[in-house]
Chain A
Amino acid sequence: MQFLSYLISGISLGSVYALIALGYTMVYGIAKMLNFAHGDIIMIGSYVIFFAFGSFGWNPVVSVLFAMAVCTVLGVTIERVAYRPLREAPSLAVLITAIGVSYLLQQVAQLLWKSDPKSFTSIVTAAGLKPLALFEGQLVISAETIVTIIACVIIMAALTLFVNKTVPGHAMLAVSEDRGAAQLMGVNVNATIALTFAIGSALAAIAGALLCSSYPSLSPTTGAMPGIKAFVAAVFGGIGSIPGAFLGGILLGVIENLSKAYISTQLSDAIVFLVLVVVLIVKPTGLLGKKVNVKV
């Protein structure tokens, strides 16, 4: 029973990783860049919710929608100002710029809201949802866990439909396949990349809300470690692949939680990263990644 409870909270943590990993994987697939600042957009989103909901007393759903809007604007602005001028530059240059943006967001947050951690009120409990008790109370699943898992599944399904069934979605697929060819076929590449950043950032706001509801401590560096882990999850599942991000995120969350419970709290991160190393050595493109043959 205890195992089941660890497993379920692992899936919940993994769902958050999956949502963040989506932002990484989509941006990587389409713009071929590692957006290091993604974790910090989560942090900004969480602060927006913290103030909208905690200080101004807005409705939880409205707060989350507002944070999504703020993060979308932020993500698109960052893309326009910092990344677009470097579209044709070497990928390392873009990587360093992304690191710079990540520092910038953390510093702005620190100046605006100070570095002491804020205690985040769970928006899920505030929305009036109750924990679920199963097996005559032997297994209690918190409302946060349930909402996180359901939200993740819905978003994943919606995103898959969006990418496969709509015109902008097809444009995203085309750009990720071959940017030059897509442009020749009349796809607006800049708009498509901006759309990708918009979706990724909006999802980051949701991930921030869910993450901080389960782990209610919010500081300017809140986004950093989940960001790195989600990035690992994206690589784990095969970067560029949406189902891969989902699978990688869930697996990572479950492995982390189970090793925390049964092996060692201090070594859980090491175990997570070790699993990633082993997977990549056995299957160098990740679990669901496509193998690309290099032709001379």
Chain B
Amino acid sequence: MALTRLKHMKKTTRSNLITFGIVIVFYLVVEALMAGGLTSSSFEGQLVPICAYVVLAISLNLTVGFLGELSLGHAGFMSVGAFAGVLLWTVLGKTLPAYVALPLAFLAGGLVAGIFGVIVGVPVLRLSGDYLAIVTLAFGEIIKNIINACYLGYDENGLHFSLTDAASMGLAPDGTTLINGAMGITRITKASTFTMGIALVLITLVVILNLIHSRTGRAVMAIRDNEIAAQSVGVDLTRYKLTAFVISAVFAGFAGVLYALNYSSLVARRFDYNTSIQILVFVVLGGMGNIRGSIIAAALLTVLPEMLRGMDDYRMLIYAIVLIVMMIFNQSPQIVAWRKRVAARFTRKKGAPAPQKEVA
């Protein structure tokens, strides 16, 4: 009964269910392994980052894969989200119970990242192609530099803020420093758990998959496929571009909060352009516009350097080579054609009729 219903389901619904299924099965398998004591502590330490990177990859896929704009500043949104969420968590976590303070921290992270999404998106989305890429990179670096130079604290007179050094904040001796410049936020009460991470992944999936298959999502993809054609049938370019960009930023903010609450300290340096590029690598290797691919690529590539830890010095070298070889193997027209020929030869051996020669 259930099977026949699955068969008659719409293709997209079925595909979405498979995606959810993969995440849930992954969760159950890992939980079972952990309960059985079969996982190493280094792997367990990777679980929350994996969830954070999966959310980041899905959200960046919305910008890169569905909107078709290359963004190199995704870590910047992650960074502002992380700082906003962690600040709220440190301030509220002492007074409010965790089940109130934590959702508030996530909301704050998403909200602030979304506001930055609007601030960055309005000017940036007027540009196109590589120019857009470089400006998002610039914004990511600006955010990193400003947070790096940012000092924030409070005492009985209220909040104190400075962009030069801790002394010029004018904090009373008994005041508390919240952000200490390049040292960032320290002594964070860790709060992220694997279950929380998976919950965030599932929420992200629900929102983004529904968005893609909605009117908005179709408009966004129409812009990607042909901007001029989309405009001429009345798609409001600015509105839909900004919608996709801001939603992408909001989820990067959520992921930032999740990631930051997994560690006891938070520095802005962590979210530099290398992080942005790493997320982009997940999206491209997983397949642009393919949400399931993003999830798998993000999870595998986060674990890969850990798995190669035995070959310590060589692991990043291997990672680099894997990256280059996979790109050439998957994307080079000559190699793709060669792969098709090899595949055709194998299918023919099994008794299939010889394939027609492709007419270019």
Q: Give the interface of A toward B (CB within 8 A).
A: 28, 34, 82, 85-86, 88-90, 92-93, 95-97, 99-101, 103-104, 107-108, 110-111, 228, 231-232, 235, 239, 264, 266-267, 269-270, 273-274, 276-277, 280-281, 284-286, 294, 296
- The answer to whether B96 has its CB under 8 Å from any CB of chain A is no
User: Can you list 14 A-B pairs with a CB-CB distance of less than 8 A?
Assistant: A89-B331, A92-B70, A96-B280, A101-B320, A104-B320, A104-B324, A107-B320, A231-B134, A235-B130, A266-B145, A266-B181, A273-B139, A274-B138, A281-B126
B141 contacts across to A, CB distance below 8 A: 228, 269-270, 273
- Verify B288–A228 contact, CB threshold 8 A: no
Contact of A273 among B70, B142, B163, B332 (CB under 8 A): B142
- Verify A89–B332 contact, CB threshold 8 A: yes
A90 contacts across to B, CB distance below 8 A: 331
- Verify A270–B123 contact, CB threshold 8 A: no
Contact of A88 among B123, B127, B284, B333 (CB under 8 A): B333
- Verify A228–B273 contact, CB threshold 8 A: yes
Given contacts A267-B146, A270-B141, 11 further A-B contacts (CB under 8 A): A89-B333, A95-B70, A96-B284, A100-B323, A101-B320, A104-B321, A107-B317, A228-B141, A231-B134, A280-B127, A284-B128
CA distance A122 to B139 in the complex (A): 34
- Verify A97–B142 contact, CB threshold 8 A: no
Contact of A235 among B64, B134, B182, B316 (CB under 8 A): B134
- The answer to whether B237 has its CB under 8 Å from any CB of chain A is no
- Verify A111–B320 contact, CB threshold 8 A: no
- Verify A277–B313 contact, CB threshold 8 A: no
B133 contacts across to A, CB distance below 8 A: 34
- Verify B314–A99 contact, CB threshold 8 A: no
Q: Give the interface of B toward A (CB within 8 A).
A: 64, 70, 123, 126-128, 130-131, 133-135, 137-139, 141-142, 145-146, 148-149, 163-164, 181-182, 228, 273, 277, 280-281, 284-285, 288, 313-314, 316-317, 319-321, 323-324, 327-328, 330-335
Determine the main DSSP class of B at the interface with A.
helix
- Contacts A99-B281, A264-B164, A281-B126; A86 near B138 (Cβ below 8 A): no
B70 contacts across to A, CB distance below 8 A: 92, 95
- Verify A93–B327 contact, CB threshold 8 A: yes
* Closest chain A CB from B275 CB (angstroms): 12
- Contacts A88-B333, A92-B284, A284-B127; A103 near B316 (Cβ below 8 A): yes
CA distance A273 to B280 in the complex (A): 21
B317 contacts across to A, CB distance below 8 A: 104, 107-108, 111
- Contacts A264-B163, A270-B141, A277-B138; A97 near B149 (Cβ below 8 A): no
- Contacts A103-B319, A111-B313; A280 near B333 (Cβ below 8 A): no
- Verify B281–A96 contact, CB threshold 8 A: yes
- Contacts A85-B328, A97-B327, A103-B320; A280 near B335 (Cβ below 8 A): no
* Closest chain B CB from A262 CB (angstroms): 13
- Verify B145–A270 contact, CB threshold 8 A: yes
- Verify B327–A276 contact, CB threshold 8 A: no
CA distance A239 to B132 in the complex (A): 13
Contact of A86 among B137, B284, B331 (CB under 8 A): B331
CA distance A168 to B162 in the complex (A): 55
CA distance A294 to B335 in the complex (A): 32
B64 contacts across to A, CB distance below 8 A: 92
- Verify B145–A267 contact, CB threshold 8 A: yes
* Closest chain A CB from B201 CB (angstroms): 24
- Verify B314–A86 contact, CB threshold 8 A: no
* Closest chain B CB from A224 CB (angstroms): 8
B228 contacts across to A, CB distance below 8 A: 294, 296
Residue in chain B with minimal CB distance to A78: B324
Residue in chain B with minimal CB distance to A92: B284
* Closest chain A CB from B322 CB (angstroms): 8
- Verify B327–A86 contact, CB threshold 8 A: yes
B333 contacts across to A, CB distance below 8 A: 88-89
- Verify A284–B320 contact, CB threshold 8 A: no
- Which 4 residue pairs of A and B lie closest in terms of their CB atoms, listed nearest first? A100-B323, A270-B145, A103-B320, A273-B138
CA distance A95 to B137 in the complex (A): 14
* Closest chain B CB from A184 CB (angstroms): 18
B149 contacts across to A, CB distance below 8 A: 264, 266-267, 270
- Verify A97–B335 contact, CB threshold 8 A: no
- Verify B332–A86 contact, CB threshold 8 A: yes
B331 contacts across to A, CB distance below 8 A: 86, 89-90, 93
